[in-house]
Amino acid sequence: MAFVLLRPTTATVSFPLKLKHPTSKSRKMAIKIINSSSNTTSTGDNGNRKLPILLFDIMDTIVRDPFYHDVPVFFRMPMEELLECKHPTAWIEFEKGLINETELARKFFKDGRDFDLEGLKNCMRRGYSYIEGVEGLLRALKQNNYEMHAFTNYPIWYEMIEDKLKLSTFLSWTFCSCTIGKRKPEPDFYLEVLRHLDVEPASCVFIDDRMRNVEAAEDVGIVGLHFKNADSLRQDLSLLGIDI
């Protein structure tokens, strides 16, 4: 499956103003500052662009992650044993696009044991589902014309997620680690996002269930939100003045 990525038009105004790099300690103050201004639309060569741009982690932020819920059952071992047996870097290499799935199967376990790769993929596919309440939230944001992008650590199997859940209805699969060759929380992955979007960091809001990734976004000036559930995210976005 191929996804065509179109470079967005250039924005010249940050959302809704330039902020100092927010940290987790100063997040409430950042929300207060942002909420004091209205959303800004900037005009580029090809038309209007509504800000802020929303960057979403995928696994356990939008989509249930089968690795933690279903894969230990597939391998018939507790998660602790699975983590001990699997190769320490094979999945990371797969996420960065450095190895393909055949190579992943060869080195997934440290001892090189064989396993049913297609069975694992089917297990993952069955386990993909929207986290409760998130699909409706994405639909509301899409209806309000927000630009949304995936910003996720995931291998080429993101195509299985797309096939099943059609996330491209709401967002673009623009920033996947397997196509960019970088992973969160590597700072250069965040900087690559900003280079591609051609916006000020404070023009972006990043949502992730892992606080480490949120803090890395805040370190480069992106507004970060820690995902807990759809209701709390809806409240956090509203506090930022985002129409839902």
Q: How would you write the pLDDT of the chain (244 residues) with one tens digit per residue?
A: 444 344 343 333 344 433 434 444 445 544 544 444 445 554 444 457 899 999 999 999 999 999 988 999 999 999 999 999 999 999 999 999 999 999 999 999 999 999 999 999 999 999 999 999 999 999 999 999 999 999 999 999 999 999 999 999 999 999 999 999 999 999 999 999 999 999 999 999 999 999 999 999 999 999 999 999 999 999 999 999 999 8
Name, in order, each residue with C-beta under 8 angstroms of 174's C-beta and a sequence gap of 6 or more: 5, 149, 150, 151, 196
Name, in order, each residue with C-beta under 8 angstroms of 140's C-beta and a sequence gap of 6 or more: 244
Per-residue model confidence (pLDDT) at position 9 = 38
Per-residue model confidence (pLDDT) at position 45 = 42
Helices vs. strands in the chain: H and E counts, helices first: 13, 7
pTM of the model as a whole: 0.84
Per-residue model confidence (pLDDT) at position 40 = 53
Alpha helices in 37-173 (DSSP H): 66-69, 71-75, 79-85, 90-95, 101-107, 117-127, 134-143, 158-165
- Print the SS3 string covering 54-82: EEECCECCCECCHHHHCHHHHHCCCHHHH
Structural tokens at position 102:
């055949």
Per-residue model confidence (pLDDT) at position 48 = 74
Q: Measure CA of the first residue to CA of the last residue in the chain; give whole Å.
A: 31
Angstrom distances, CA of residue 73 to CA of 77, 82, 123, 124: 6, 10, 10, 11
